[in-house]
Amino acid sequence: MAIKLLELSGSPFDRGSLHGREMASNIRSNVKTYQKRFLLGGATLEKIMKEAENWAERFRFHDQEYYEEMTGIASGSGVSIAEIGMLNARYELSYTLYTSEAAAANSIASHEPEGCTAFGAQPEFTSPGETIMGQNWDWLEGLLGNMCLLKVRSDDQPDYIILTQAGIVSGMIGLNEHGIGLCVNGLSSHGDGHELHHRPFHIRVRDIMRTDKLNDALKVILSTNRVCSTNWLLGQRGGEVLDIESSSNIAHVLYPKDGLITHGNHFINRTGIESEFERIAPCSLYRTPRLDRLIRQNSQKWNSEDFKTGLRDSFGHPKAICRYANPDDPSDARTVTVASVILNLDQLTMEVTDGPPDANDYIRHQL
């Protein structure tokens, strides 16, 4: 199967309304998936929805246009604005929960958080001579079949295509018409969720998709502090790729080595950082270097098939680069590779699977 593609244009409310109508059942499913996950972490439904209401108001404060698109999704799908707020703030809500889980990593109540394994390659090291990025996006099994691609057209902003979860205005992995590409990985460190007034993650992703220069994309991440930790792998056609490891108030830059950079879910530069993610998900410690090695051993000039081979790797199954659900985990906390993505920043293409890449075909989309 292929992940559904939505072509969005017009006013923010119109874009959201179409999104809501086309993905209504998927949005309701995602609401239930996140509610169950948060309940598993010890929160009550009343607390979850109260925090979701608070976050919906924070979105309104930070970006009225983004909030209007959220209201359009709520109207089109028939769910509440609080539930749409919960989906769009799922990163902040999740990472507040995960910080407490990481602190109790020896407890049986601790369950593995959002993972991912990403790469970026510069053109002089790829066989087509182009800038290529990609990743496996590993998260809740309940999201399988409830993703969508948004191809957003605008007269006054760059066009872009992005992978998202039904009900979220922005997304996680995408590229725009200027060849700006983004992959993201979850990180966790001391201080996550302590300051909630900063610009939310999914708004920042949308902001990056609206830039035309790498300098401006970097400003989106670096100009203000953040609510929680994130790894941002950024590139632009013409050959530039770099990685930003960010905690709430510290950011470090990593650069490709001999044309390639890979990243998982732990901080590589730990200066000033108390990294916590690997206490829950130590598999990141081998996924990151393994993807690097798998890509490099294939050839001197890498192509998309070399990258796909690496992303299909099953070493450490089920906690592999290509992730499968661990039957020992509670069903509402099981994580899988929900989608695998390859971005060609020069051709402006996205190849994406609906589920783990060793069992599902990559479908190509042209911006």
d(CA 352, CA 357): 9
The pLDDT of residue 195 is 84
Say which range, 104-108, 152-156, 279-283, 287-291, has the weakest mean pLDDT: 104-108
Q: Which residues contact 50 (CB under 8 A, 6 or more apart)?
A: none
The pLDDT of residue 95 is 63
Say which range, 33-47, 65-79, 246-260, has the weakest mean pLDDT: 33-47
Question: Across residues 73-98, what is the average pLDDT?
Answer: 89
Provide the residue range defining the domain that includes 17: 4-103
Question: Across residues 251-270, what is the average pLDDT?
Answer: 96
- 179, 271: one domain: yes
The pLDDT of residue 103 is 45
Last residue of a domain, one of 78, 103, 128: 103
274-328 pLDDT tens trace: 888 888 889 999 999 999 999 999 778 999 999 999 999 999 999 999 999 999 9
Residue 295 located in a structural domain: yes
Decide if 232 contacts 184 (C-beta within 8 A). yes
d(CA 333, CA 317): 17
Q: Is the pLDDT of residue 153 over 90?
A: yes
Residue 110 located in a structural domain: no
Residue 109 located in a structural domain: no
Last residue of a domain, one of 103, 126, 148: 103
Average confidence score pLDDT of the chain: 93
- 93, 132: one domain: no
Q: Could you tell me whether strands 147-152 and 4-8 are parallel, antiparallel, or unpaired per DSSP bridges? A: parallel
Note the pTM of the prediction, 2 decimals.
0.94
The total domain count for the chain is 2
Question: Please, which pLDDT band fits residue 96 given cuts at 50, 70 and 90?
Answer: low
The pLDDT of residue 113 is 63
- 89, 156: one domain: no
Compute CA distances 176 → 6, 50, 218, 233, 341, whole Å.
15, 35, 15, 15, 15
223-233 pLDDT tens trace: 999 999 999 99
Q: 264 is written with which tokens?
A: 């998982």
Decide if 159 contacts 151 (C-beta within 8 A). yes
d(CA 271, CA 291): 24
Strands in 251-254's sheet, in edge-to-edge order, are 4-8, 147-152, 160-165, 173-176, 180-186, 230-236, 240-246, 251-254
The pLDDT of residue 259 is 96
Q: Which residues contact 6 (CB under 8 A, 6 or more apart)?
A: 18, 19, 22, 23, 148, 149, 150, 151
- 81, 137: one domain: no
CATH number at residue 309: 3.60.60.10
**Cβ-based neighbour number of residue 65 at 10 Å:** 15
Question: Please, which pLDDT band fits residue 143 given cuts at 50, 70 and 90?
Answer: very high
Helix, coil or strand: residue 357: coil
Residue 108 located in a structural domain: no
The pLDDT of residue 112 is 62
The pLDDT of residue 106 is 38
Strand partners, 233: 183, 243
Which stretches of 3-131 are DSSP H helices? 12-22, 24-40, 45-62, 64-77, 81-88, 90-103
- 139, 61: one domain: no
The pLDDT of residue 105 is 42
The pLDDT of residue 305 is 92
The pLDDT of residue 295 is 95
What element of type H or E holds 220?
Answer: helix 214-222
d(CA 149, CA 10): 17
The pLDDT of residue 115 is 77
CATH number at residue 90: 1.10.439
- 128, 153: one domain: yes
172-197 pLDDT tens trace: 999 999 999 999 999 988 888 788 88
The pLDDT of residue 107 is 37
Question: Please, which pLDDT band fits residue 102 given cuts at 50, 70 and 90?
Answer: very low
The pLDDT of residue 196 is 86
Residue 125 located in a structural domain: yes
Q: Which residues contact 216 (CB under 8 A, 6 or more apart)?
A: none
47, 67, 49: which is closest to 57 by C-alpha? 67
Question: Please, which pLDDT band fits residue 43 given cuts at 50, 70 and 90?
Answer: confident
Q: Is the pLDDT of residue 104 over 70?
A: no
- 168, 77: one domain: no
Residue 217 located in a structural domain: yes
